[in-house]
Structure 1
Amino acid sequence: MIYASFWQRLAAMLIDTLVLLPIIAVFELINTGTKASELMLLIPTAITFDCYTVYCHGRYGQTIGKHVMEISVVLTSGCAIGWREAWLRSSLDIFFTVLGIISSFIALILKRAS
């Protein structure tokens, strides 16, 4: 089994970001410029990226960026991952997404209270 290098993984992530950029641009067009608006748009943007990653890994074993960089996500046995592994693989990312959203809400609430 050949492991992808840091630079290959970084390139794949940047390609995935470019793939999702049109969706992020639509969310940005909706933005009214207020802190609350920015926070409310953070949620669908973060969820979109997490859902994209889980779906692509569960369905195809790779995201578009990984496909371009010829990286496949497989089990240690070399077999393709399934939905369970895709969710488990992304669970830490999802946890930090939720934590970031909660932290942002708390910061906004505390700022308004002061």
Structure 2
Amino acid sequence: MSELTAENAMMEITSDTYRYAGFWMRFWAYIMDLIVVASINGILLTPFKFINDGEVIEMGFWTLTGIIASIMFYLYFLLMTKKFGQTLGKMIMGIKVIREDGEKLTWNDLLFREVIGRFIHRVFSFLAVLYIVVAFTKEKQGIHDMIGNTRVVFVD
């Protein structure tokens, strides 16, 4: 019983030491990140306008440029968060992603948060509304944070 109490006390201390980033801080960071990703995709995908006489290269249901743009979107969030704990938008806003237990972010954490969580929000566009969950949870978690067991906190 004392171990359980000690764990609970440690969890309370840990959660009290962070200032969680709310909806609007995260929203503006995300908008900045979308601008960065769109800029990168603009640079990478411009040469495709000169290939195939400017015709879209289709691959079944998708286009080649659509596939590359999607890969770049997920890679940006995945690699930036793994390397720095932040994307450029989060750096500007002074926030970063951490694990709920305070340990270093792992690939599994980030695959669930950045790829699977974001994929769910983007593919099922009506679920994008669920980003608002951040505004109402105690630790300001979105669905993708809950999936990845992460939090977004202010950098002190």
Q: Please say whether Structure 1 and Structure 2 have the same fold, judged by a TM-score greater than 0.5.
A: yes
In structure 2, the residue matched to 1:3 is 20
- Contact kept, 8 Å, 1:57 with 1:73, in 2: the verdict is yes
In the TM superposition, what is the alpha-carbon distance from 1:29 to its structure 2 partner? 5.5
In structure 2, the residue matched to 1:105 is none
TM value normalised by structure 2: 0.53
Gaps of 5+ in 1: 101-114
In structure 2, the residue matched to 1:36 is 58
2:73 to 49, 56, 65: 49
Q: Of Structure 1 and Structure 2, which has the larger fraction of its residues in strand?
A: 2
Identity %: 25
Q: Which moved more, 1:51-60 or 1:28-37?
A: 28-37
TM value normalised by structure 1: 0.69
Say which one has the larger Rg: 2
Q: Does 1:24 align with 2:41?
A: yes
> Cα deviation per residue 1:3-46 (whole Å; 9 max; x = unaligned)?
21211111111111222232221315524354838822111101
Q: Of Structure 1 and Structure 2, which has the larger fraction of its residues in helix?
A: 1
With over 3 angstroms needed to count, the CA separation of the structure-2 counterparts of 1:10 and 1:95, relative to structure 1, is closer
- Contact kept, 8 Å, 1:12 with 1:69, in 2: the verdict is yes
In structure 2, the residue matched to 1:112 is none
Paired positions, count: 100
> What is the CA RMSD across the aligned residues, in angstroms?
2.9
